[in-house]
Structure 1
Amino acid sequence: MEYVLLTLSWTIFYTLHSLLASSKLKRILRVKIGSGFKWYRLFYSAFSLVLIIGIMFQSALIPKMIWISKGSFTMYLGYLFAAFGTIILVKSAKKIALSNFIGFNTSEQKPEKLVISGIYSKIRHPLYAGLILVFLGYLFFSGSVTAAVHLACLLAYLPFGIYFEEKNLIDLFGDQYRDYRSKVPAILPWI
């Protein structure tokens, strides 16, 4: 039952994540709340953080059930995947204005240009790729069913998350993003 509730928590988080990030909702809220909209991104980031902390707390309360037996090789794989995932996350964060991404910059400016250099020239969604590797690393390191549920929920969400994120990017950048999308793979550089 704990795993069903954990899956439900991730489903709620990912659904709210996509809903609150949608261009349509943002357009509606921009009209409804006017100048207060400049705080929306910060609210969205804080709300997401609170939900993730809640999910992590919930998963910590689940009795640990081992799915993959721990050994030096699985721990090595865990560290390896998590390290590569962290490197990808850091490299992708360097290419975007983190203060805008989180919402600390409240000056409602749209991004001036589409970021297609660095790691973004190899994959369109390096943040997702990094998260997959970090979650996979956690699975190998801990070997728990809970870690497997975290990873499975992320993998199940990705097609939806990518679809909605790209819809927003097309609204923002139009043909420039369509052209970029046709040339650069989503998550895996060789596909």
Structure 2
Amino acid sequence: MSHDTPAYGLWSLVIINTIFFIFFAASFSVGGWKKNWRSLGPYSAFILALFAEMYGFPLTIYFLSGWLATRYPNLDLYSHEAGHLWSTIFGLKGDPHFSLLHIFSLVAIAGGFILLAQSWRRLYDAQKRGVVATTGPYAHIRHPQYVGFVAIMFGFLLQWPTIPTLVMFPIMTFVYARLARREEQDSLERYGDPYRVYVERVPAFIPKLSGTRSPQRRRLP
């Protein structure tokens, strides 16, 4: 099989895409990297690992080459299309960039960035006024910024799954859950009962699909 257009070893694209997606996310934050490094750090590591394989060295394809060559003998392993492994595994036909899976991934990524933009601004405005953030995305979930990061990473996994990012994703999700819990304890100490009432009414990560939950005393999760 010939490779007229190189699909890998494009380290300039690795750098450009990594910088773009990291700074694009950071541009929505208030206070920049210095103030938000705990939330931006895991996301940045995921993005770097993703694009290092997407355009740099196809580590996952290399490890799976024997299995892929046996099961999909007509697949050009080192073409860009081969990196869209879900399309190959699920037997999706046509250009993977136009598949429903890819479109859904774009929706998840775009939705994640929109959630980041909306949540960080609302949080900053509330902190300036010294009150609990309860408007915008915060009216539906308590940690929309972390849900946004997870949605972006999940979207990229649907596009371009790799062994490192598949391993990193649940770890990053756990890290964000821990950060959320720590922030809730800090907010409880800072705002007291208003924040406790907010916790009792609004779920942490998954919005309610029906009526408002009646307040009840309980511990923070």
TM-score range for the pair, normalised by the shorter chain length: 0.5 to 0.7
Any unmatched runs of 5+ in structure 1? Answer: 1-40, 101-108
Quickly say closer, same or farther: Cα 1:169–1:47, change in 2 above 3 A: closer
Q: Tell me what 1:7 maps to.
A: none
Cα offsets for 1:115-160 (capped at 9, x unmatched): 1111111110000111111011010011222332232112222432
From 128, 131, 145, the equivalent of 2:149 is: 131
1:141 aligned to 2:159? yes
- The question of whether the paired residues in 2 share the 8 Å contact of 1:92 and 1:120 is answered with yes
Q: What SS does structure 2 have at the residue aligned with 1:128?
A: helix
- The question of whether the paired residues in 2 share the 8 Å contact of 1:169 and 1:177 is answered with yes
Q: Tell me what 2:169 maps to.
A: 151
From 187, 192, 198, the equivalent of 1:180 is: 198
Q: Distance in 1 between matches of 2:150 and 2:44?
A: 18
- The question of whether the paired residues in 1 share the 8 Å contact of 2:140 and 2:202 is answered with yes
Q: TM-score, length-normalised on structure 1? A: 0.61
Aligned-residue Cα RMSD (Å) equals 3.3
Mean Cα displacement is larger for which, 51-60 or 115-124? 51-60
> How many matched pairs?
143
Q: What SS does structure 1 have at the residue aligned with 2:169?
A: helix
Mark the structure with the bigger radius of gyration.
2
From 73, 76, 79, the equivalent of 2:103 is: 76
Q: TM-score, length-normalised on structure 2? A: 0.53
Q: What SS does structure 2 have at the residue aligned with 1:187?
A: coil
1:162 aligned to 2:180? yes
RCO higher in structure (CA 8 A, sep ≥6): 1
Q: Distance in 2 between matches of 1:163 and 1:46?
A: 17
Q: Tell me what 2:137 maps to.
A: 119
Mean Cα displacement is larger for which, 153-162 or 171-180? 153-162
In the alignment, residue 153 of structure 1 is paired with which amino acid? Answer: I
Quickly say closer, same or farther: Cα 1:53–1:184, change in 2 above 3 A: closer
- The question of whether the paired residues in 1 share the 8 Å contact of 2:105 and 2:158 is answered with yes
Any unmatched runs of 5+ in structure 2? Answer: 1-31, 62-82, 88-95, 210-221
Q: Tell me what 1:90 maps to.
A: 117
Q: Tell me what 1:23 maps to.
A: none
Relative to its length, the structure with more helix (as a share) is 1
Shift of 1:48: 7.2
Shift of 1:189: 0.3
